Structure 1
């Protein structure tokens, strides 16, 4: 795995970080909002957010005295998808279908898988 993929999978290894990513799927949240969802100290959540940020899975922006975090979903999807396509035959077929047809429909996947 590349260093980038290693960082991403290391970031995903902790359940708190996975939950933070799930919480961010509906949009931007302030650091305090994120921390309030967990039975952990603020510094602990801050460290989890730093790991996610370093892996490129979240971004932060400052708004006055608040730090707002957002999910970088495409990075997560591409990294996990690339890994799955190397180990999962169905993903390999789907990747080939996308290359040939430029489509991601389930029907195209089923058609290619049955061929």
Structure 2
């Protein structure tokens, strides 16, 4: 179920772009919205999906909410993908 949520979250190009923006550090919701030509409500929904998949974390500072990558989940995904890729290479010892 966790991996399914993660893959669902990664399937959307806007959510992938949000992750790309956050790789440079935390951003407020307003800063994220500024990068897109969709409504703030739409970005809010995308952020919720990313949070549910545990790909991002949020923290409140005063009246602002800042979002940042959850690197540990991203590392788990990368290890899983690398392992999948490695399985197909095991038979062909060069």
Secondary structure of 2:6's counterpart equals helix
- TM-score, normalization: structure 2? 0.88
Question: In proportion to residue count, which structure has more helix?
Answer: 1
> Which of the pair has more CA radius of gyration?
1
Partners of 1:17 and 1:34 in 2: CA distance:
11
1:4 to 1:91, Cα distance in 2 relative to 1, 3 A: farther
Matched pairs, number: 92
Structure 2, unaligned runs of 5 or more: none
Secondary structure of the 2:25 match is coil
With the length of structure 1 as denominator, give the TM-score of the two structures.
Answer: 0.73
1:18-49 deviations in Å (ceiling 9; x for gaps)? 00000000100000000000000000000000
Structure 1, gaps ≥5 residues long: 94-112
Helix, strand or coil at the partner of 2:83: helix
Using CA pairs under 8 Å that are at least 6 residues apart, name the structure with larger relative contact order, 1 or 2: 2
